[in-house]
Structure 1
Amino acid sequence: MNDSPRRKELTRQAAQLFVQEGFDRTTVRMLAEEMGIKSGSLFHHFRDKQEILAAVIEEGTRNALAIAHAALESCDRDSEARLQAMARAHLETLLTDRNAHVVALYEWRRLDDDARAHLGHLRDAYEALWETVIDEALAAGLIHGDRFLVSRFVMGALNWTVRWYDPEGERSPEELGRELVAMLMAPRG
């Protein structure tokens, strides 16, 4: 994949348009107008609209993985700190790359089979990080339940924040992450 700064900027602009209009309603002409280029020039950077969608999702997922890895590397090793670090990191992706995150959530099903196969390993790697942290929290007795259900519940709750969370509001990502994790944790006796 071409990682030129111009392509990255075009990818960010496409993400914004996909969020506003939806992938299906976004035309190549609309993308070119948003990007300030001619429709034909768009194909200098991307083969087709499908490749643009894949680029948006790939960049967003790579950024989410980088933020999550950095959060885990900089936190304490205890399972509660790691769970909170992952929740905070997930929320931070909404601040740093909200449009790509929203596109990945809502437009994944629009990827063609080849793009889905290519990007599946990134999504799987992100989910595997979560599963490791959740396994640690389960083993430590911080949370209870089936790992599959807990991970889907946690990811669903965090992903839904794209609909209601206001980064300018009263809670920082760290505070919100801490509160959400506290809701999951088993009562300490």
Structure 2
Amino acid sequence: MTLVNASSRRKELIRIAARLFVVEGFDRTTVRMMAKDMGIKSGSLFHHFRDKQEILCAVIEEGMHNALALANHALSEAHDTPRGRLDAMVRAHLETLLTDRNAHVVALYEWRRLDDESRSHLVHLRDAYEALWKEVIEDASEAGLVYGDPLSARRFVLGALNWTVRWYDPEGPRSPESLAQELVTMITHSPASPA
């Protein structure tokens, strides 16, 4: 069950579905609503997807692939220090929220709507992303940058970052970079490193 493919039309349909799932919620979004917004007939949707559950899985899968790609790229470009890697992960997570907001929101709020098959298909992506965070937070903890239990720290940081989808305005006066630096400063009790 690999849902991500290179079809530009399929990717467009996934983006439209993600927006509808955010606005209406998964349960209230109908196939007819999706088809209307996609500019196709309801039956045509099934040329691309087996059912609504597969669409939900595809939305989350695409968002998770993008998040992993951004995180891996950020880490490859980061200063090779615990602080540099933590800065990179925070910035990458915020970038994911800003560039792929709908897919991220769907993953956060509709994960529980996945059936067992879809959840089993996606869990390795979630685990791979969390493994990156685990390593970065544990390194920061060992370096004395983060205090307390690393698991709690990781959950706190991800929770704080994920909540920004509710209140952060990318068009407002605060840049994503300054927001990332402020968060890292709060959790490490140390001033931001030079960019």
TM-score, length of structure 2 as denominator length:
0.94
Q: What does residue 185 of structure 2 align with?
A: 182
Unaligned runs of 5+ in 1: none
Deviation by residue 1:105-128 (Cα, 9 ceiling, x = unmatched): 000000000000100000111111
Given residue 41 of structure 1, which amino acid in structure 2 is its aligned partner? Answer: S
- List, as ranges, runs of 4+ consecutive aligned residues in structure 1 with deviation greater than 3 Å: none
When structure 1 is superposed on structure 2, of 42-51 and 89-98 the one drifting more is 89-98
Q: What does residue 81 of structure 1 align with?
A: 84
Q: What does residue 20 of structure 1 align with?
A: 23
Q: What does residue 7 of structure 1 align with?
A: 10
Query: CA offset at residue 148 of structure 1?
Result: 1.1
Q: What does residue 128 of structure 1 align with?
A: 131
- How many residues get paired? 188
Query: CA offset at residue 3 of structure 1?
Result: 3.0
- Contact 1:64-1:93 within 8 A present in 2 as well: yes
Q: What does residue 140 of structure 2 align with?
A: 137
Please list, as runs of the form range in 1=range in 2, the aligned pairs for 1:42-61 lying within 5 A after superposition: 42-61=45-64
When structure 1 is superposed on structure 2, of 167-176 and 55-64 the one drifting more is 167-176
Query: CA offset at residue 94 of structure 1?
Result: 1.5
Q: What does residue 166 of structure 1 align with?
A: 169
**Counterpart-to-counterpart distance in 1, 2:177 and 2:12:** 28
RMSD across aligned positions (CA): 1.1
Q: What does residue 152 of structure 2 align with?
A: 149
- Contact 1:141-1:186 within 8 A present in 2 as well: no
Query: CA offset at residue 187 of structure 1?
Result: 5.7
Find the residue that maps to 1:82 and give its secondary structure. Answer: helix
Query: CA offset at residue 170 of structure 1?
Result: 1.6
**Counterpart-to-counterpart distance in 1, 2:92 and 2:6:** 24
**Counterpart-to-counterpart distance in 1, 2:31 and 2:65:** 25
Given residue 51 of structure 1, which amino acid in structure 2 is its aligned partner? Answer: E
Among candidates 12, 32, 35, match of residue 35 of structure 2: 32
Query: CA offset at residue 182 of structure 1?
Result: 0.4
Find the residue that maps to 2:98 and give its secondary structure. Answer: helix
TM-score, length of structure 1 as denominator length:
0.97
Unaligned runs of 5+ in 2: none
Compared with structure 1, are the counterparts of its residues 42 and 187 closer, same or farther at alpha carbon in structure 2 (3 Å cutoff)? Answer: closer
**Counterpart-to-counterpart distance in 1, 2:128 and 2:71:** 11
**Counterpart-to-counterpart distance in 2, 1:34 and 1:12:** 11
Deviation by residue 1:128-155 (Cα, 9 ceiling, x = unmatched): 1011000110010011111111111000
